[in-house]
Structure 1
Amino acid sequence: MNDVYRIIVNHSQLISFWDFAEQPGQEAVAKGPFPYRLTEMAGPIERVEDGPFGAAAQVKLGQWWNLPRHACPELNFHGKDAKLTVLAWLKRENIPNRGCEAIAGIWNETEKKRQYCMFVNLNIWDSADQVCGHVSAVGGPTPGYKYCMTSAIGSTPIVKEEWHCVAFTYDGQYAKVYLDGVLDEREDFNPYLYDSGLFDGGDDGANFTVAAVHRSNEMGNFYTGAIGGLAVFKEALGEDELAELCKITV
């Protein structure tokens, strides 16, 4: 257990931290105060040994994890006072981009039950391979658009076949995204002013999913590559703290 691992699991604002040390086919059980269980939904997900904390999950196209909404109430961030951080360690696979890639969040486009989700390669507002933090107060598309367009978007492409630490925060006023512990500033989009809060999906809202979201009546927006860790906090962490947590991959 390295120093960053200890800091995460002992953090006062941590909800859950998945290190993906389990064997393929087993549920990924979170460390921290809420040991939520991620279930593999498209066959056993391979493990590799070059992750920032040891083992890492090697996600093939079409694989993802599911966590039912009723089983993870602490991840159901919603309303005007919602505050959160989603933090992940990724090594993107060197394959041609196939579209948006979801990392983690509560986000269902099909049923108009979007709340929050971290993506890479969102492909809106002249973006491509950057980290993105999607937020929605309405659940459905942004008024006047076909899709949700409200997102913090960085400026730096995430290089493939390298480990990087990506983070998405929301404090009720601004959504922000960070690459390797640094605010990846972009005019008008990072920080991204969004003081409308997050949609409340209610009892039948979206599940928490990793490496995919539900859209166009099926799962999609698949992430392809390695995930070496995933942590969710109940506060918008600042740049200094994120730099400390990301130093293992910098």
Structure 2
Amino acid sequence: MNTTEPLCRWHFQEPTGTPRVSEGWHRYELVEREGPITRVEDGICGRFSMELREGQWLNLPRAGCAGLNLHGPQPFSVVAWVKRAPKSFKQCQAVAGMWNETGETRQYCLFLDLTIWDSADSVCGHVSATGKPSPGYEYCMEAGIGAKPVALGEWHQVAFTFDGNWVRVYLDGRLDYRPGLSPYFWPRTINEVGERGSDFTVGAVYRWGEMGNFFVGRLGGLAVYDTALDEEAMRRLHASRSC
């Protein structure tokens, strides 16, 4: 298949202190929070990347990014290039998505090191049909989870897809196969919240009344598609150092 045009793609080439503007079907501006967020000359999809220190993140208000409000049976893909850095304490790391745990308006989010189902340092594609914790659990436990660790200090392409029945997790252009968890059978629909749902956030999610689950390191690219890319498309993006 040919890789389709993304809903949004960010290459993070903008100077420190400015909004990061997407290309693709929508031109959305990610705004720094707890910034300024430094642009560094260490890129993967271009000359530069964006370096997130612990506690920093970017935000797109829900009212201004309707194209990323993926819900129902809508297939989608989230693809990112990351270079992880050490974190001061053990906690899962959110890369990007619409995921508000405090308001119980979870929808979808790409995570690393999710800390459920023995997911240490792996790529994780979190999904929710209700926005709430899974029955019998304190947290939402619905996620596709890869088997391989994402090493610190190296550029890696991380991604997950949902096709209406299966969540698949990818690492460096390859399906990160893990029995029962990637592919993860989830024949449900993404939570439809309406106007009161989560913003689209990068580098953190809202939890326990405040922002948390911070990603620490460099982001070289991020894209969201309204289709479930297959492995051939993921390999092509990886080979071309794109997303």
Contact kept, 8 Å, 1:106 with 1:208, in 2: the verdict is yes
Alpha-carbon distance, 1:148 to partner: 0.2
Q: Is 1:61 the counterpart of 2:54 in the alignment?
A: yes
Residue 85 (structure 1) aligns with: 77
User: Deviation of residue 205 (structure 1)?
Assistant: 0.7
Match of 2:227 among 221, 235, 243: 235
1:104-127 Cα offsets, whole Å, 9 max, x none, are 000000010000000000010011
- Secondary structure of the corresponding residue to residue 14 of structure 1: coil
Aligned to 1:4: none
Aligned pairs for 1:26-175 (under 5 A) are: 26-52=18-44, 53-79=46-72, 81-95=73-87, 97-175=89-167
Q: Specify which of 231, 239, 242 is matched with residue 247 of structure 1.
A: 239
Q: Give the CA deviation at 1:98.
A: 2.5
Structure 1 CA distance for aligned equivalents of residues 213 and 239 of structure 2: 28
Q: Distance in 1 between matches of 2:126 and 2:178?
A: 15
| Unaligned stretches of 5+ residues in structure 2 | none
Superposition deviation, residue 185 in structure 1: 0.4
Query: Structure 1: which amino acid aligns with 2:160?
Result: F
Match of 1:205 among 172, 175, 197: 197
Return the letter of the residue paired with 2:35: G
Contact in 1 for aligned 2:5/2:24 (Cα 8 Å): no
Retained in 2: the 8 A contact 1:164–1:249?
no
CA distance in 1: counterparts of 2:9 and 2:89, whole angstroms: 28
Residues 40-60 of structure 1: CA deviation (Å, up to 9, x unaligned): 011110111111122100100
Shift of 1:201: 1.2
Q: How many pairs were matched up?
A: 240
Q: Which residue of 2 aligns with 1:3?
A: none
- Give the drift of 1:249: 5.4
Identity of aligned residues (%): 47
The answer to whether the 8 Å contact 1:212/1:221 transfers is yes
Distance 1:130 1:88 in 2: 14
- What is the TM-score when the length of structure 2 is the normalising length? 0.96
Displacement after TM superposition at 1:248 (Å): 4.2
SS in 1 for 2:158: strand
**2:47 counterpart letter in structure 1:** G
CA contact (8 A) 1:163 1:249 kept: no
The yes-or-no answer on 1:16 pairing with 2:5 is no
The equivalent position to 1:196 in structure 2, one of 173, 178, 188, is 188
1:132–1:152 CA contact under 8 A, matched in 2: yes
- Alpha-carbon distance between aligned partners in 1 of 2:209 and 2:153, rounded to the nearest angstrom: 31
